Structure 1
Amino acid sequence: MLGATDDGRQPESEPRRRERGNGRQPARNGNGRGFPIDVRLLGLAGVLVVLCLIGYITRPETFLTEENFSTMLRLAAAIGVVSVGMTFVIIAGGIDLSVGSMVALSSVWMTTLATQSFGPVVMVLCALLVGLASGLINGVVIAYGKVVPFITTLAMMASARGLAERLSERRTQVVTETGFSDFFRGNVLGIPVLVWMLAAVFVIGWVVLNRTTFGRRTFAIGGNAEAARLSGINVKLHTALVYGIGGLCCGIAAVMVVARTTSGASTNGLFYELDAIAAVVIGGTLLSGGRGSLIGTLIGVLIFTVLNSIFTQNNLDTDIQNIAKGVIIVAAVLLQHTTSARRKGKPRAPGEVNSSQLSGSKS
């Protein structure tokens, strides 16, 4: 065992000594504490600026207008909140394919005539509880039932969407509670309430992920669930809570979708899982878990929102948008694989997946 130096300090580890000798600061771990200047985040910001320039060049009369920016921010708000929850799940080594269906179920349940009769507060609470309960069900089945996250959330995706169709009888439920619409469709200090909601969720999520024991444990479980268990972390309970956070974010997003469309429908949230995973991956969060950044996720959401606006204003079909998203996701995953292989010094098979995603969380 290494002893202390003459002045009582512990000796430097070899990696830190090498980094200091090379004139580099030790690399920060994946939680991104202290809003560090990250080259990847700067690169993402550069991509966002380039896309805005492309939008201005192709549609100079409409792109850089207050109305268009307000529309883009409103559209980004709901998927942004879902992506915050997805970031927690993926950092913990999981995946959630049911987020879109949970948004649909929450939106339908909160807009039934029975729920609306109790007023806007009950409507919001209903959406939050439905989302939270759905997420916790995912987490409990994965953590305690030891079912693969992919299969569990795929089942929830089908079940929640089916229940939403059953409750709504496949009809759009219009919001008749004027107090709800007046508040959530309004502005505060000239900024839409929905954007304030996204900002609040993002700030709270960042603090929880980077400034609390819960966040540190989330990174630890995603990095190595077995090592986290041996260190005393209740991996099963923590995994269930992480999926609960994802579900709660879906409930919040449902409120935002209903506010924007003034209706609840079983078709709400379609492809939200694709959009959220794309934003998270583009933002630099590893699909294998253990490393990620909410700042990167937020920039990823804005990148896809601006991209969609460019496609829409140039009258490009939605299928082209989906193709572009798929290509971007694959490119981002390949980049992650290459970077990870270089960091570890040995290549990983392109199709290899983190063991925690295949077997569920260990405890």
Structure 2
Amino acid sequence: MNSHRSRNHFDDLTVDHVRLCVVDLDARTAEFVRGFGLTPADAADLPGEDRTAVLTRGEIRLVLSSPLNDEHPDADYTRRHGDGVSDIALGTADAASAFAEAVRRGARPLAEPVRRGGVVTASVAGFGDVAHTFVQRAAARPSVDAAATDTGLRHVDHFAVCVEAGALDATVEFYQRVLDFRMIFEERVLVGSQAMNSKVVQSRSGLVTLTVIEPDTTRDPGQIDGFLKNHGGAGVQHVAFTTDDIVRSVTTMRSAGVAFLDTPDAYYGRLPERLALSRHSPEQLGELRILADEDHAGQLYQIFTQSTHPQRTLFFEVIERAGATTFGSGNIRALYEAVAAEEE
């Protein structure tokens, strides 16, 4: 349907940064520096109408912003949602052209292209109150991790996005039509009397991945319903960070005060029967409460932090991929049950 020329607008997309609106900038900054090993970086290319902290590790770049006054858009975001992801910024070689093409395909424009120093940005609306800012940089941004605790976190693996019941297919279609994403995985999860549906969309580059989840309202309300209620609509439920050694990362993060979701002992009792682990031992995984799964391409290991926000919404994931390219179908159920148990 689209020409080769138009497809090129979105072939190179990356996660440039993740913007979080926060109520208490100092507390959230300290949390990410201490627990996640992120390092404060220069914020010179960002607008100055609110308080901002830029934190990096590897390819991860979080931009934390806190409004200076009640009239700022970030203040409206935090009133509606509390702390949360307000922008999944997409790196590209030509931000102005990507913006124009996305708008031509039906995206709602939020901010026209503007240049600050060597950086060009332009924004369109995504899902809920989450924007996508196209970011074009004249040079690769430096990564300086030496001053922080080495948690081993490397880059953003994926975002888990909760949308209202009935919005899953329309959300997936938007990313396919507007940004040339592909649907690479789908799953229906039943846990007791609750259920949810999910579809995974990914950029052509393979570097931007959204797991989009909707609740099944024909079943009993569950944690996805709870997120949508507490968050005030669609939004990012969690952000997943990759590591090359999840045992080392989780050990370091726990020592720094990060709390993770628990998993029932029975999960680890059944683990040796379910998997012949390619990395780590059942004892190591059980001690740290790390989940393990596999697909046709290999194994993956993952764990989820407890939410530190009053609404119990946004949290984070640490994931190690030992070949696996999907998302741990068996662990989706385990996560669902773990979050439900924490809420109880």
More relative contact order, 1 or 2 (CA 8 Å, 6+ apart): 1
Q: TM-score, normalised by structure 2?
A: 0.26
> Larger helix proportion, structure 1 or 2?
1
Q: TM-score, normalised by structure 1?
A: 0.25
Q: Which has the larger radius of gyration?
A: 1
> Larger strand proportion, structure 1 or 2?
2
